[in-house]
Amino acid sequence: MKPKIDSTSFGSITVEGETYKYDILIRLDGRVEMREKQLSKELYGTSHKISLEEAKHIYEEGTEKIIIGTGQTGFVELSEEAEDFFRENRCGIESFPTPWAIERWNEVEGRIAAMFHVTC
């Protein structure tokens, strides 16, 4: 079941009444997990650029689309390798600043997953 995102503010996101004070992934089955941002940080020195390794961690077989919340002001971006990986797996990407991304998440249907950055 796809959980509803209630709100976000700098440094947190609230999903189905539970507040997380870290970046999250929402899996196809609705599970909320902590984002493994060190997969990108180790390569780029920042979690603001999503690496191929992190893209592989985010993606699950059968995902049609991934919504990416790029932070409160939109600092996060995909690396070229991550973009290529999603394209090769026929997985669409929609990226928006996190407040807009949660609106999109709450309205979109299908086999959708998401990653939300809650700062910057």
Specify the pTM.
Answer: 0.96
Per-domain residue ranges for the chain?
A: 5-117
Give me the DSSP letters along the chain.
Answer: -PPPEEEEETTEEEETTEEESS-EEE-TTS-EEE--THHHHHHHSSSSEE-HHHHHHH--TT--EEEEEETTTT--EE-HHHHHHHHHTT-EEEEE-HHHHHHHHHH--SSEEEEEE---
Residue 104 has pLDDT above 90, yes or no: yes
Domain 5-117 has CATH 3.40.1230.10: yes
Task: Give the pLDDT confidence score for residue 76 in this predicted structure.
Answer: 98
Q: Which tens digit of pLDDT belongs to each residue from 4-56? A: 999 999 999 999 999 999 999 999 999 999 999 999 999 999 999 999 999 99
CA distance 78 to 81: 8
pLDDT the model gives residue 43: 96
Backbone angles phi, psi at 2, to 5 degrees: -80, 120
C-alpha to C-alpha distance for 47 and 40, rounded to whole angstroms: 6
Give me the pLDDT at residue 54, please. Answer: 98
- How far is it, in rounded angstroms, from Cα 85 to Cα 52? 7
Note the pLDDT of residue 1.
83
Given this model, what pLDDT does residue 42 score? 95
What's the mean per-residue pLDDT of the chain? 97
